[in-house]
Chain A
Amino acid sequence: MLRFVLRRLLWAVPMVLIVTFLVYVALRVGTNPLASYLRVNQRASAKKIQQYIETNGLYEGFGGYLRGYFQWLQGFVTFDWPRSIKGSREVWPEFRDAMMNTLRLGLTATGIGILIGLSLGVFVALKPGGLRDTTVNTGAFVAISTPPYVSALILQLVFAVYWNRWFGSSLLPTSGVYPPGNRGFDLFLMIKHMVLPVTVVVIQIVAVYTRYMRASLLEVLNSEYMRTARSKGISERRVLVRHALRNALIPIVTVAAIDIGAILGGLIITERIFSYPGLGDFFLGAYDNGDFPQMMPWMFFFTLVVIFFNLVADVSYAVLDPRIRLGR
């Protein structure tokens, strides 16, 4: 087991380097930072341009990209991040704030979503085929087929705009972390502002996990060894808790770890619609400006997250499911 984990860890290091290098190349090609710099600084002298190329490692050719990548990486690790192109501002403080906001939103939504989703999944898997199953299953299907912006617009309309028309004041705010002009930390207001975006993300997560859990649990319940367990006279409840749930969760843990990307994707869309100053908003803003120095740390960070969770998925799968063949 240890060997397996180590092997995977060893895999991860070159993976991170290769993938982030590819990302680096893609972003350099996609955004062309030098051209962006020149567009913004039209009066830059040849000397200034050369200086910009050197401080930012914007060399040409494969070797140049490689050299530039490592120069960038060195700066990144030592927190000597290149400044944004538009307005030459520091990137890290904004990135950090955005990350905190996203973590708050993402963790809350994921926690609530998975909890509700799994419970619903168990709830329907116990009586497959009935009205309950059909209702929840159809509901989940509709939710999956509804893009987050559609639900977001409808929620905003009902709880902010129309609520205001009907009752004279809106129930929930539609944007930001705090009401405009707020000073300092206020937990209640913060929660109030998170309700709608969290709901939008939760809807997506619940829909997905309900179906995962249902399918997974059904499969376990119908498997040979469950039949055996039942036939041995173990009570249904005990079967469920001791064996079925545990086994049904195995694939879900794996899926959850891989799914992190999908959740983040939903977050990006949601943040944009609710003007929530998180990483998604940060990325889309940087993308619209073609701002390489802002996009690259973002992509690097996400690559790390994604690779890490992939690793978690692999390892957890191996740990939880003794049937897996190790050291393939």
Chain B
Amino acid sequence: MTKKTSRVLALLAGASLVIAACGGDDGDSSSSDTGAPATEAPSDGGDTDTSACGSGTLEGGAGGAEGEAAMRITIDINPDAVWQDGCPITVADFQCSVNATLNTPGSISTTGYDKIISIEAGASDQQVVVEFNEVYAPYKLLFGGLIQASAVEDCNDISTDFADSIQISGREWIMDSWSPEQLVFTPNPNYWGDAPSTERVVMVPFADFDTQSAAILAGEVDFIYPQFFAGITDALSDANITNKVEFGGDYEGFYFQSDPNRGGPFSDPIFREAFVKSLDRQGVFEQIYIPLSDGQGKLLECGPIVPGPYCNDSFVGQYDPEGAVALLEANGWAKDGSGYWAKDGGEAPTIRWIINTGNTRRENTQAYLIPLMQAAGFNVVADNCDAACYFQQRLPALDYDMAMYISTAPPDPAYLTASFACDQIPSDANNNAGQNSTGWCNEEATALLKEADITVDEGPRSELVKQVMDLMAGDYVMLPLFQFPKAGFWRTDRLGGPVDAQLNNYRAFNNFSQWEDVDGDGQIILGAEQWPECLNPVTECANSSWMVWTTAFPVLPNVWDTTNGGTFEITNLVAGEPTVEVL
């Protein structure tokens, strides 16, 4: 999974505590000291003296956005909801989580939280009242991955907390131990919902698919959730191994850097349109993606989004090589001596196509497509570098002409604003931290996106998003390719229960507390494709899907969880659907 993916994912994930630049970062000042630092060992359950639990609200509150309250959300915490130490989950924990996301120096994203004016206790310490300075439609992405206020020393900077262990829990599991070799979960004795059906869950990292598949074939692990590739089902053919393939929120696409201020061949809309019309997506799909989908996949036509309520199939039928030639010739382009299109006798533009080295699928795509595009008169060259250089330097700096990467579409389309609005193009105005790495600026689309973000009503909101997709297709700024399969493979002789129930969920295989340990060895062993370096839920550590799947989701409580069908539902953390008032 790519960095790009995980960044989007982390927004929703446990990490979503992330907030923005408001609260001035002066770490040492006025940190609300809520008493005892990290509770190390979980208590043995039973009744706990709640007087030792610290205050139910934080001194100084939380949030920091300016302005009039435009939206208010009232959340009633389930009175049974307690942390692993028996202390009730209160407003203080919400406040602390939001402050940590907003103010920790390494916080990866503060989107949404930066609109919070205040978080206060309502009728009791278990009623959370949040006021926003504008209507924020994707509010269900917020309040995930809550942390316990009394577990950290300073809610405004938790960068050194949770480095190698998350000792708090508001879900089924307690993290018994975590090391580079394995992660062990045991049931949380104070969990107020259904107890897990297994005594112990162990996760083990594997360096690559080879060792991972060898381990499941050898019966060393019970379940794996590998990235799909051609031949994977052959590789894992065994009478005791079964699998389920679903098509989730991961999609891959081509992106064309079209920022007029940065120049580049694709800043010319005519050239961009001709290029896109000359690119045979169906061919790419047949050569690269069909083997990848076990014959079940289809070409993605929606845009940077997956089929569902926001999809309009806007990208159908753009391949039109004759139209491209006609368009170029009508606009003063002609083929030069080496067969490449050049305008008004000038030099033929070179198109730098970047991917991360070592990604076989993308390298194969280049190998397949570059000769074809060159034959069509476009001088495309591979200009690749490693993943760190690609995702952390070149892409954010818009230092490319054509890119190819996977993104994850969360169930809420709010991510589109961050990735495609005009004011998100990296510039001095946003400290070059904008996330729009295509440089696409269409004022009309931006206005529609902003409106969608403040439209709480589902129907009108999806119409707005569909209009944006149409505009995007008309501007030829990207080409969707393929919705990726998500597959779980597990041994039926060792594992039972609803293993396949949540594989399409944004939260992946997180229902493992319901799985049954068929072989009776008292534990379920899951193989992990990636292993987090560290467990902090708001910093760069959380910028990885596997980190949130394996370490944050099983222990940190959310107000809303995603479902297998791509919707949101409240968890048992709250007593009922929170009330949302637009003021």
Residues in A lying within 8 Å of B, measured CB to CB: 39-45, 47-48, 83-84, 86-90, 94, 97, 153, 156, 160-161, 164-165, 169-170, 173-181, 272-275, 277, 281, 285, 288-290
Contacts and interface: CB of A to CB of B under 8 A. Distances in A.
A174 B217 CA distance: 11
B214 A170 contact: yes
Given A42-B106, A43-B25, A180-B182, A89 B206 contact: no
Interface stretch (B146-154, B156-164, B438-446, B451-459): B156-164
Interface stretch (B73-81, B370-378, B535-543): B535-543
A45 B181 contact: no
A212 B21 CA distance: 65
Contacts of B269: none
A90 B106 CA distance: 17
A160 B214 contact: yes
B107 A173 contact: no
B533 A41 contact: no
Nearest to B521: A181
A181 B523 contact: yes
Contacts of B429: none
Contacts of A156: 210-211, 214
B180 A180 contact: no
Contacts of A153: 210
Nearest to A294: B533
B496 interface: no
Given A86-B540, A94-B180, A180-B202, A43 B26 contact: no
Given A97-B180, A161-B213, A161-B218, 15 more contacts: A40-B539, A41-B540, A44-B105, A86-B534, A87-B541, A88-B160, A88-B163, A88-B534, A170-B217, A173-B215, A174-B211, A174-B215, A175-B211, A175-B215, A180-B220
Given A40-B539, A41-B539, A89-B533, A273 B159 contact: no
Interface string B172-215: 00000001111010000000000000001010111100110111
A289 B210 contact: no
A33 to B, nearest CB: 14
Interface of B: 21, 25-27, 103-108, 110, 159-160, 163-164, 179-182, 184, 200, 202, 204-207, 210-211, 213-215, 217-221, 238, 388, 392, 433, 523, 525, 527, 532-536, 539-541
Contacts of A289: 533
A275 B205 contact: yes
B218 A47 contact: no
Given A86-B540, A156-B210, A174 B534 contact: no
A87 B535 contact: yes
Contacts of B202: 180-181
Contacts of A90: 163-164
B21 A173 contact: no
A161 B220 CA distance: 12
A269 B535 CA distance: 27
Nearest to A271: B207
B235 to A, nearest CB: 9
15 contacts: A41-B105, A44-B106, A87-B534, A87-B536, A87-B541, A90-B163, A90-B164, A153-B210, A173-B215, A174-B210, A174-B215, A178-B181, A181-B184, A273-B211, A290-B388
Q: Is the interface of B mostly helix, strand, loop or mixed?
A: loop
A87 B540 contact: yes
A289 B202 CA distance: 26
A43 B107 contact: yes
Contact of B106 (A43, A84, A89): A43
A90 B105 CA distance: 19
A31 B497 CA distance: 47
A156 B525 CA distance: 21
A244 B469 CA distance: 83
B244 to A, nearest CB: 22
A281 B206 CA distance: 12
Contacts of B536: 87
A277 B211 CA distance: 14
| The 9 residue pairs across chains A and B that have the minimum distance between CB atoms | A87-B534, A170-B218, A41-B106, A181-B202, A180-B204, A44-B105, A89-B163, A45-B25, A40-B540
A97 B219 CA distance: 27
B180 A277 contact: yes
Given A43-B25, A48-B25, A174 B214 contact: yes
B106 A40 contact: yes
Nearest to A89: B163
A160 B204 CA distance: 18
B540 A84 contact: no
Most buried by B among A89, A165, A288, A290: A89
A53 B110 CA distance: 25
B204 A273 contact: no
Given A40-B539, A272-B207, A176 B218 contact: no
Given A41-B105, A41-B106, A181 B204 contact: yes
Contact of B21 (A43, A161, A164): A43
Contact of A87 (B104, B433, B539): B539
B528 to A, nearest CB: 10
B207 to A, nearest CB: 4
A57 to B, nearest CB: 19
B428 to A, nearest CB: 16
Contacts of B103: 43
B218 A86 contact: no
A153 B27 CA distance: 51
A275 B106 contact: no
A161 B218 CA distance: 7
Interface centre among B106, B159, B238 (most CB of A within 10 A): B106
Contacts of B210: 153, 156, 174
B392 A175 contact: no
Given A42-B433, A161-B217, A289-B533, A176 B160 contact: no
A180 B217 CA distance: 14
Nearest to A52: B105
B271 to A, nearest CB: 33
Contacts of B182: 180-181
A106 B210 CA distance: 23
Given A45-B26, A169-B218, A86 B105 contact: no
A181 B185 CA distance: 10
B108 to A, nearest CB: 8
A177 B182 CA distance: 11
Nearest to B534: A87
Contacts of A48: 25, 27, 105
Count chain B CB atoms within 10 A of each CB in A94, A180, A274 and give the residue with the most.
A180
A275 B207 contact: yes
B577 to A, nearest CB: 33
Contacts of B25: 43-45, 48
A40 B532 CA distance: 14
